[in-house]
Amino acid sequence: MRLPAMALAAVVVGAAAVPAAWGQERAPAPATAPVAGPIIQMFQWPWDSIASECTDFLGPKGFGAVQVSPPQEHIVLPEAGHPWYQDYQPISYQLETRRGNREQFANMVKTCNDAGVQVYVDAVVNHMAGSDGDHPGSAGSEFTKYDYPGTYSDADFHDCRRDIAHYEDKWEVRNCELVGLADLKTESDWVRQSEINYLNDLISLGVSGFRVDGVKHMPPEDVGAIFGGLDEVPGTGQKPYVFQEVIADSTTTAGEYTGNGDVTEFAYQGKVSDAFKNGSLAQLANLGDSMTLPGGQAVVFVDNHDTQRSSPTLTYKDGTAYDLAVAFELAHPYGTPQLISSFAFDDTEAGPPAEADGTTKPASCDDPAWVCEQRHPIIAGMAGFHGAVAGTGLTDWWDNGGGQIAFGRQDKGFAVINREGGELSRTFQTSLPAGSYCDVMSGEVVNGSCTGQTVEVADDGTFTATVAPNSGLALHAGAALG
């Protein structure tokens, strides 16, 4: 039995009223462009810690947006050690999680926005929790599978009621259950409006965008109908930026969903990871040609929380090779770059550092339990590089046929990466204006001086430098000296 609209509005504070014309299809809103700075996934970071990092580091360094872990009430699994994936099993749309409550979430959004960093939410709308509630949810809600009081009841779920067995069958992928998770009828007006209410509640708090989880398990028209009901972000006159997680295969292509917004390009992490693991960077010369999406529709990453745990990929555990791959991602023009700030793990199911009750401990980059990839020296200055070269194309490519490459971003930037065991010494041709530049892979500009290496670009656009083994160099217009 469905709840009346007033009851749902009481659960989702500030949500929009259910429209009178339930049967009308909404067209997806025109896609809003991503921010100029890169997106960083603050995986499992508590709300208070994200607020501090926005103010202290991410804003000043030029990061454009934080992607935060799902903020809705989730299942609690103490017997499994409070694994990371419990957050991807919703119980209700109340903003109460192990990372903080509604007030803390709202404060984080405001603080990050004030620091010039937008907030994108990892939104789970394909399913609800996949097991009976042996324990109340993170907001205290009692539930059983297919019955989540105040949110959904049995009639709101697909009838398949078994795991997906044949991924070559598109109907099964979209109607059966992903690892036992209760699969929502996203074709239902009631379900769609419930999800729209949840997302609009987040928008009312200042959220500027969404990464939508598990999109291949929903038809494009269902996703588009949900997006079509979203409000404008307060004070912007624009709909939120949305990008969709689609792990493409022979049955489902990323291109099926581009009419709704940007899509994750999973081929990127495989191609770039392979190049940096094997030292074969020259193969990246025509990177865009080997992708499945145009760069303007793709969100790219070296790793995310899933690939860290399930796919052959580079991660923070690979040290400098990983840092250089992320620097490449931020320097190259293909796609909208997404980074991750991780917690350290050995067990792929482990949750973040936690108190005895399962709530997440504050994240601190002084604590080795939090990896803080964004603060690695090679990566830290590259967010500013990405912002400085926005809108420019790839120029002045050079490679040695192996693990040494260099390339420009027209007259705004130039990067060199040496993934080999010997020094790289040569004169590089750029399109940069003559002048002195701070190498942002080795330092930053402070009070008009460079804390790292200074590079002199001649009138003809050339400079000569020696790049150490397994390191890089990056110059951009925003780091010009004098």
Q: Which of the residues are catalytic?
A: 213, 245
Q: What's the N-to-C CA distance of the chain in angstroms?
A: 69
Nearest to 437 by CA among 417, 468, 458, 410: 458
Sign of CA dihedral 4, 8, 10, 13: negative
Residue 251 per-residue DSSP state:
S
Residue 67 per-residue DSSP state:
E
Computed on alpha carbons and rounded to an integer, the radius of gyration of the chain in Å comes to 23
**Contact at 8 Å (CB) between 304 and 338?**
yes
Nearest to 273 by CA among 233, 311, 242: 311
User: Which tokens sit at 266?
Assistant: 């999973």
Nearest to 77 by CA among 131, 127, 126: 131
Determine what percent of the chain falls in helix, strand and coil, rounding each to the nearest 5: 30, 20, 50
- The residue behind tokens 């050690």 is 81
> What residues are paired with 11 via a beta bridge?
none
All residues at 6 or more sequence positions from 317 whose CB lies less than 8 Å from its CB, including other chains: none
CA distance 352 to 337: 24
- The residue behind tokens 């923070």 is 316
Nearest to 28 by CA among 198, 213, 227: 227
CA distance 268 to 247: 12
φ, ψ of residue 438 in degrees (nearest 5): -90, 130
Nearest to 340 by CA among 296, 375, 298: 375
CA distance 241 to 35: 9
Nearest to 354 by CA among 134, 123, 76: 76
CA distance 35 to 52: 20
| Residue 466 burial (10 A CB sphere; 0-12, 13-18, 19+) | exposed
